[in-house]
Amino acid sequence: MTITTCVFDAYGTLFDVAAAARIAAAEPGREAFAENWPQIAQDWRLKQLQYTWLRAVADAHTDFWQVTQDGLDYALEAAGMADPELRERLLALYWELSAYPEVPQMLADLKAAGLQTAILSNGSPEMLAGAVDSAGIGAVLDDVLSVQDVGVFKPHRKVYDMVGKRFGCAPEQVLFVSSNGWDAAAAAGYGFYTAWVNRAAEPMDRLPWKPQVVLQDLTGIAKLAKDRA
C-alpha cells in the first residue's frame, strides 16, 4: 500500500531537546552549568521519558509539561545544581526549542509531493504550538496531534490510533518517523511503516518489533516517502 501520510514525533526528532541546556550553558555567569550541561541534558531527557512510561503503566496520566519539569528537577538535583533561577531559565528555553537544520526543507518537500504531514507527540498542545511557531514550520504541517486528547502517553496504541482517525488512512499508508527507537519499534508493531532517526548511533532496542528503516538524520525522509507513494 502506498504512503499518503507522514507523521513525526516531535522532541528529539524534529526539535533538538538538548538546545535549551546548550543555550543556557553559553550564557554569561553559567560557568558551573557549562561544565555539566551535557550530563544534565541527558538525565533530563531520560527522566522525562521514564516518567511518561511509568505514568502510562500506572494509569496516572498528567500533562507533558509536568513530566518535563519533574525530569529537570531530578537532573538538576543529581548534578547538585538545584538553582531556582537556572531551573526557570531552562524551562523557558524549552518552549523555544530549535528544529534540526534539515527539518523545514524536508517538510516542504513532502508537501510538494502531495503528502499529508503531521506531528504525533507526547507534548501538550501549548508546548507543541510554541515549538512549531519558534521553528517556523506551521505552514508545512497539516496537523499537530497531542496525546492529551487520549489521556495516555506513547507507546499506547490509543496514541497511534489518532493518526487514522484524523487522516482516514490505514496504518500501512503511514510513514512514521521518530528518533526514539522504542517509539519507532512500537509504531512498527502497530502497523505503520517506520523510520528510526538514530542520530546517536545507538543499538537497536530489544523489542518484539523493529523499524523498517534506520537513518542518521531526516534528509532522506522525503525520498523514502516518495519512493513508496
- Kindly report, residue by residue over 42-61, the tens digit of the pLDDT: 999 999 999 999 999 999 99
Structural domains in the chain, sorted by start: 5-15+98-227 (3.40.50.1000), 19-94 (1.10.150.240)
State residue 188's pLDDT score: 98
99 DSSP assignment: B
The pTM of this model reads 0.96
Banded model confidence at residue 40, pLDDT cuts 50, 70, 90: very high
Nearest to 95 by CA among 10, 14, 20, 203: 20
Nearest to 115 by CA among 193, 2, 216: 2
Q: 155 preceded by cis ω (within 30°)?
A: yes
The residue written with cell numbers 538538548 in the block is 18
- In angstroms, what CA-CA distances link 125 with 64, 79, 99? 9, 30, 17
Q: Show Cβ contacts of residue 46 under 8 Å, excluding neighbours closer than 6 positions.
A: 71
Amino acid, single-letter form, for residue 172: E
Which DSSP string do the residues of 129-164 spell out, in sequence order?
A: HHHHHHHT-GGG-SEEEEGGGTT--TT-HHHHHHHH
Q: With 90 as the cut, is the pLDDT of residue 183 above it?
A: yes
Each residue of 47-97: pLDDT tens digit? 999 999 999 999 999 999 999 999 999 999 999 999 999 999 999 999 999
Banded model confidence at residue 228, pLDDT cuts 50, 70, 90: confident
Specify whether 73 is catalytic.
Answer: no
Q: With 80 as the cut, is the pLDDT of residue 29 above it?
A: yes
Given the residues 9, 16, 43, 183, the one annotated as active site: 9
